[in-house]
Amino acid sequence: MQVRFKCSANHHRLAEYFFSTKVAPDESTREGSTSSPDSRAFMVLYTVAVMNCLFCKIIEGSIPSIEVYQDDQCYAFGDIDPKAPVHVLIVPREHIASLADAGEHHPALLGHLLWTAAKIARDKGLSKGYRTVINTGRDAGQSVDHIHVHLLGGRRLAWPPG
């Protein structure tokens, strides 16, 4: 079975590796594989997480969404249950479960998500202001385990949030 992900070449390689009928799971010499059992286990869990991830499916296009913006690093789309006249979700193409899971190689990508939020806000004429929110973890109400920036605007937003 071959599984293909459009959202990230890395996901594509991982899925191809783990679901290829031609390659034994314990083969460690294949390019891109790792001989460490821990990192191999991580890659399996990561691949399963990607395959079950709502936002990865939206990025891939297998679940429909209303596109607002996209580039090689991120995809932005309208929230299905908007909490303000403008409510856009900005997600990286790479699956990162939450801000708490971002690694030392992610600062540029995280900055790009915020830059994208500002660009969309400008394009949508949110000159009076807007809010960017990243819910992290259950206590903050994160309900989808793929990091996303909420861009909210088009009305006065109360502070502090609940």
Q: Distance between CA atoms of 14 and 8, rounded to whole angstroms?
A: 10
Residue-wise DSSP of 125-146: T-TT-EEEE---SGGGT--SSS
Task: For ligand 5GP, give the closer residue by CB, 81 or 139.
Answer: 81
Q: Distance between CA atoms of 126 and 6, rounded to whole angstroms?
A: 31
Q: Closest separation between CB of residue 21 and Zn ion, Å?
A: 25
Annotation marks residue 146 as catalytic:
no
> Which residues of the chain form contacts with ligand 5GP (CB under 6 A)?
54, 65, 77-81, 89, 135, 141-144
Q: Closest separation between CB of residue 62 and Zn ion, Å?
A: 12
**From 11, 146, 148, 150, the catalytic residue:** 148
**Binding partner of 56, given ligand 5GP, Zn ion, none, CB within 5-8 angstroms per partner class:** Zn ion
**88 close to 77: Cβ distance less than 8 angstroms:** yes
Task: For ligand 5GP, give the closer residue by CB, 14 or 56.
Answer: 56
Q: Distance between CA atoms of 16 and 150, rounded to whole angstroms?
A: 32
- Positions in the binding site for Zn ion (CB under 5 A): 53, 55-56, 95, 146
